[in-house]
Amino acid sequence: MERYEYVHLKITTLFGAKSEEHRQIIDKYAQKGCRYAGWIPTNIDSEGKIKELDLIFEKTSGPARHYVFVNAEIHRVFGAKSEEHRKIIEEQSAKGCRFIGFIPTNLNSYGMIKAMDLVFERGI
């Protein structure tokens, strides 16, 4: 049976949110031998805006890991369509990194994602 740890984060900016706090938390847990497994929203308001989330870590006895974060912005005023992530994933893969997922890093005042960190894992 796998064992997991959870780190709760609150998104507390009045008009939108911009955060990089997750980077330090993921690096800290990697140093403790944990593997980043993903995130789940734990509090979403009535308009669909994420207010709180849990970062999820798997306790492992395997080799240490290093995480790489690449920020990708979504450059659209109305609606959001982006394929920038594909190029970033291919570039990081060529460097020996494995794509893990994404974490929103910048939300507008309506809760729409304006930018995200793509998270990659690499053995040390």
- Residue 15's pLDDT band, with cuts at 50, 70 and 90, is very low
Q: How far is CA 92 from the centre of its chain?
A: 16
- 11-15, 27-31, 100-104: least confidently modelled range: 11-15
| Three-class DSSP category at 94 | helix
Cα separation of 52 and 44, whole Å?
7
Higher pLDDT, 94 or 19: 94
Query: Residue 18's pLDDT is what?
Result: 64
Query: Residue 27's pLDDT is what?
Result: 93
- Residue 80's pLDDT band, with cuts at 50, 70 and 90, is low
Q: What is the pLDDT of residues 93-123, one digit of tens each?
A: 999 999 999 998 888 777 778 888 999 999 7
- With a threshold of 0.85, does the pTM exceed it? no
Q: Contact at 8 Å (CB) between 71 and 38?
A: no
Q: How many domains, in total, are found in the chain?
A: 1
Cα separation of 89 and 70, whole Å?
9
Query: Residue 76's pLDDT is what?
Result: 59
Domain span holding position 109: 3-123
Residue 17: other Cβ atoms inside 10 A: 20
The helix (H) or strand (E) run that includes residue 55 is: strand 50-59
pLDDT of 79 over the 60 cut:
no
